[in-house]
Amino acid sequence: MPRGAFIAVEGLDRSGKTTQVTNLETRFQAAGIDVKLLKFPDRTTAIGKMIDAYLRSQSELDDHAIHLLFSANRWELATTIERLLNEGTIVVCDRYAFSGVAFSAAKGLDLDWCRSPDVSLPAPDVTLFLDISPEKARERGGYGEERYEKEELQRKVRTIFSKISGEFSAEKWVTVDAGRSQEDVAADVWSFVEGFAAGVHSPLQRLW
């Protein structure tokens, strides 16, 4: 029996990730396929609450410390992700380890140091990078409320995402132009993942 596919959706703040993963969930469900949506950071856990306070500038933390919390927040769910995939459920993640590396490295931390706590986490079968200019993202609702929602930082994050993308094959890392209408982006996103509805026969890989 094939396992479920592991799909990650990444992008800058306000690139439309939540909109697109929700749409994906609906489409897989409509096709009668088991799908589980996860979001990182998961702000509901004890670690997630610390991350939430930090992002809302209600607490201060060393850049390394918050980086490790983001990673720990993924490790909290690692066995759940594996279990779901082995049960044949498709797992769709709204952000994953690539955000972890891109945002911390954009703040000035060493890229390889940033990768290390995520080593051996389940690796996505495909990562969809929703690409948008920071100028365009800023025009969308709510921008500017949280710590990293500043155009200069977002520009650096985009550069690092672009560097990371170069490490993957074209089928593992798909860049989607997210500056278009929700419908156009959704059509592209679906075209890249609908093939996963049938499940995956290759074993789950590990980061990085």
Residue ranges in contact with ligand T5A by CB under 6 A = 11, 13-19, 40-41, 55, 70, 95, 99-100, 103, 140-141, 146, 148, 181-182, 185
- Partner interacting with residue 16 (select from ligand T5A, Na ion, none; CB below 5-8 Å by kind): ligand T5A
Q: From residue 10 to residue 49, what is the string marking binding to Na ion with x (rule CB under 5 A)?
A: ---x------------------------------------
Cα dihedral angle (83, 88, 91, 97), rounded to 10 degrees? 50
Q: Give the interface segment with Na ion, choosing from 91-99, 107-115, 116-124, 142-150 (CB under 5 A).
A: 142-150
Sort 94 into a burial class: Cβ within 10 Å, 0-12 / 13-18 / 19+. Answer: buried
What is the distance between the alpha carbons of residues 107 and 129, in angstroms, rounded to a whole number? 20
Candidates 42, 52, 146, 151; binder of Na ion (CB under 5 A) is 146
Residues in CB range of 48: below 8 A, 6 or more apart? 41, 42, 73
CB closer to Na ion, 10 vs 13:
13
What is the distance between the alpha carbons of residues 59 and 47, in angstroms, rounded to a whole number? 13
| Shortest reach from residue 55's CB to Na ion, in Å | 7
CB closer to ligand T5A, 128 vs 200:
128
| Shortest reach from residue 203's CB to Na ion, in Å | 34
What is the distance between the alpha carbons of residues 174 and 129, in angstroms, rounded to a whole number? 6
Q: How many CB atoms neighbour CB 42 within 10 A?
A: 17
Under rule CB under 5 A, residue 76 binds Na ion:
no
Q: How many CB atoms neighbour CB 188 within 10 A?
A: 18
What is the distance between the alpha carbons of residues 129 and 206, in angstroms, rounded to a whole number? 19
- Partner interacting with residue 95 (select from Na ion, ligand T5A, none; CB below 5-8 Å by kind): ligand T5A
CB closer to ligand T5A, 16 vs 122:
16
CB closer to Na ion, 13 vs 125:
13
Q: Which residue is nearest to Na ion (CB)?
A: 13
Residues in CB range of 82: below 8 A, 6 or more apart? 122, 204
In the complex, the residues that contact Na ion under the rule CB under 5 A are: 13, 146
